[in-house]
Amino acid sequence: MYDIIIIGAGPAGLNAALYASRAGKKTLVLEKTFAGGQAATTYEVDNYIGVEKCDGAALAMKMASQATSFGAEIKYEDVLDINIEEKRIKTQKNEYKSKAIILSMGANPKKLGLENEDKLRGRGVSYCATCDGNFFKEKIACVVGGGDTALEDAIYLSALCKKVYLIHRRNSFRAVSLLINKVEENSKIECIFDSTVEKINGDNIMESIVVKNVKTNEETKIDTNALFVAIGTSPNTDIVKDKITLDENGYIITDENMKTSADGVFAAGDIRQKTLRQIITAASDGAVAANSAVTDIS
């Protein structure tokens, strides 16, 4: 029996674990893949106050070791089912029980929904520039999207690839101006505005894409072996979708104390409905969720 079980070891879950274990609660973190979540695949973090510049993987490792230094356990198990009322959590290996649950499973990259996208995933189509960029050294890479992730990816890839096309469906980016300035100053990045990716071509590996200008309907083929899709994320809430209240996009609705619609169940980080999804705001949510859970069960 645990006091608090946290599902997901991104910055939200790890900071929740730090706060819960530091408050003397028996704390377990269940994580499907690796600690750090999306932060661990960020090549450079420069907006986490107190950490001037750091690679995301290094920051994630520090977060995990700090959380466990106060006694929290991390187990790498995939959660299959959650009994919200009884606070029972079933993984592929075990069943656990706790007094409170914190949901911090984060969000996953969205797909374009094109034919061949799944078939060529890992064969040219990627959702993580820092994970796969190295495979395309001195090649031509394409990035789709106009948010912070897409611009960061394009900048990251420009250091490895001979050319990067940044394809965005509108004529202005939604990313922060700091990134827009960096992209504009980067001679290796060519922005293709008002355009969408219509086709991904290739059998065993991706060979080209077709891009359509949405204003003129003109289609252009780009010969490229790498397409990085950075068009936002969707929340990992499938496992709780009929059990707690979600918004129309599937994000968990919480109050300011991170309480969900179910008693003793809290949510933190990118998985919840909020306006700013950053490492720092995820960590902050984790602290608040842990504090609420500790108060709730004391």
For helices 279-297 and 11-22, give the axis angle rounded to 10 degrees: 40
Alpha carbon 49 to its chain's center? 20
Does 149 sit near ligand NAP (CB under 6 A)? yes
Angle, CA of 107, 109 and 111, to the nearest 5°: 135
- Binding to ligand NAP (CB under 6 A): which residues in 70-109? none
Name the residue with the smallest CB distance to ligand NAP.
147
- Binding to ligand NAP (CB under 6 A): which residues in 8-27? none
**Catalytic annotation, pick one of 132, 148, 153, 270:** 132
CA atoms within 13 A on the CB side of 260: 29
Kindly list the distances between the CA atom of residue 272 and the CA atoms of 139, 189, 253, 257, in Å, as whole numbers in the listed order: 38, 34, 6, 12
In sequence order, which ranges of the chain are alpha helices (DSSP H)?
11-22, 56-69, 129-132, 148-158, 177-185, 279-297
Single out the segment in contact with ligand NAP by CB under 6 A; choices: 7-15, 185-193, 239-247, 271-279: 271-279
Q: What are phi and psi of 153, to 5 degrees?
A: -60, -45
Does 152 sit near ligand NAP (CB under 6 A)? yes
At its nearest, how many Å lie between ligand NAP and the CB of residue 139? 22
Task: Please confirm, yes or no, whether 223 is among the known catalytic residues.
Answer: no
Sign, Cα dihedral of 204, 112, 139, 44: negative
At its nearest, how many Å lie between ligand NAP and the CB of residue 77? 27
Query: Can you tell me which of 3, 77, 132, 148 binds ligand NAP, judged by CB under 6 A?
Result: 148
At its nearest, how many Å lie between ligand NAP and the CB of residue 168? 6
Does 146 sit near ligand NAP (CB under 6 A)? yes
**Catalytic annotation, pick one of 78, 118, 131, 255:** 131
Task: Please confirm, yes or no, whether 132 is among the known catalytic residues.
Answer: yes
Report the residue number, 149 or 284, with the smaller CB distance to ligand NAP.
149
Size of the site for ligand NAP (CB under 6 A): 21
* Both tokens assigned to 267: 């949510």
At its nearest, how many Å lie between ligand NAP and the CB of residue 45? 7
Side-by-side strand order, sheet with 195-202 = 195-202, 206-213, 219-223
Query: Can you tell me which of 89, 144, 206, 267 binds ligand NAP, judged by CB under 6 A?
Result: 144
What residues does 192 pair with on adjacent strands?
167
Report the residue number, 117 or 296, with the smaller CB distance to ligand NAP.
117
Give the active site residues: 128, 131-132
The binding site for ligand NAP (CB under 6 A) comprises: 47, 112, 144-150, 152, 169-170, 174, 196, 230-233, 276-278
